[in-house]
């Protein structure tokens, strides 16, 4: 009995230690569960920035984990949106370090400007970062036609494309990528290796992110080709 008591006490103390070191908010992988919570602790223009432009387009391009949160994603989103005059939204971490605390999962990302833009768009493409030492694009979301156009265009230009696994499939109705008029969007997850290849010397640090490589432009052109084709399809359907 004494041995059992000591064993139980040891387990309990270990659990209490873990609880103190890793508070409950980390359970889902995010420090903040909503933008409202983040806003109480982080300072706009000091810890993070929001850049956006509402344009006359059927599509919106978004990077909700941009800047230092998932480096390379906001650069792709902004360049792509500018290519075919789409609306865009960027939520960018600008801390000197530890930008990961600004990550709010797509289902919980409820910043009002972003949600409003998504809900006014016919469809949405979101650009995300994923781990991985191979240059791969994982394609998810619920918009089957748009997804197929994206996959075809990326493969045509030499990129490795995979269907997104279940943990990053982007099929939840609460996911901002699907919170649009069609209730279906495209979620792209770019591996770390792919994103690093978009910058000179594989350096994705903040001071080097303006030094993009030819591969960056090829990648954006691939997405532009697919997005323009899909937007033309929408126009013809509506008119």
CA distance 148 to 143: 9
pLDDT recorded at residue 98: 97
Share of the chain above pLDDT 70, in %: 88
Q: For residue 97, count other CB atoms closer than 10 A to its CB.
A: 7
84-133 pLDDT, tens digit each: 999 999 999 999 999 999 999 999 999 999 999 999 999 999 999 999 99
210-230 pLDDT, tens digit each: 999 999 999 999 999 999 999
pLDDT recorded at residue 29: 81
The mean per-residue pLDDT over the stretch 66-87 comes to: 99
- 50: part of which helix (H) or strand (E)? strand 48-53
pLDDT recorded at residue 26: 34
37-55 pLDDT, tens digit each: 999 999 999 999 999 999 9
pLDDT recorded at residue 44: 99
CA distance 167 to 164: 8
Instruction: Name all domains of the chain by residue range, CATH numbers in brackets.
Output: 31-238 (3.40.630.100)
Give the confidence band of 28 by pLDDT, cuts at 50, 70, 90.
low
């Amino acid at each position: 009995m004494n041995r059992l008591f000591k064993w139980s006490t040891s387990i309990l103390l270990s659990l209490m230690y873990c609880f103190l070191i890793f508070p409950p908010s980390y359970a889902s992988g995010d420090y903040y569960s909503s933008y409202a919570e983040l806003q109480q602790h982080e300072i706009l223009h000091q810890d993070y920035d929001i850049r956006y432009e509402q344009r006359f387009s059927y599509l919106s391009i978004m990077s909700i984990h941009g800047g230092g949160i998932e480096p390379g994603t906001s650069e792709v989103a902004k360049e792509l949106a500018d290519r075919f005059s789409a609306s865009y939204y960027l939520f960018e971490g600008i801390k000197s370090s530890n930008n990961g605390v600004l990550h709010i999962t797509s289902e919980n990302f409820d910043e009002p400007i972003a949600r409003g833009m998504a809900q006014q768009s016919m469809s949405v493409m979101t650009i995300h970062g994923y781990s991985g030492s191979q240059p791969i694009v994982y394609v998810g979301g619920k918009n089957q036609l748009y997804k197929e156009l994206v996959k075809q265009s990326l493969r045509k230009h030499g990129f490795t494309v995979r269907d997104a696994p279940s943990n990053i499939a982007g099929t939840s109705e609460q996911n901002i990528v699907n919170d649009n008029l069609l209730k279906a969007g495209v979620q792209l997850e770019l591996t770390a290796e792919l994103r690093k290849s978009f910058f000179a010397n594989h350096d994705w640090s903040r001071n080097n992110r303006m030094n993009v490589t030819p591969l960056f432009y090829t990648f954006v052109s691939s997405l532009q080709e697919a997005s323009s084709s899909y937007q033309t399809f929408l126009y013809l359907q509506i008119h």
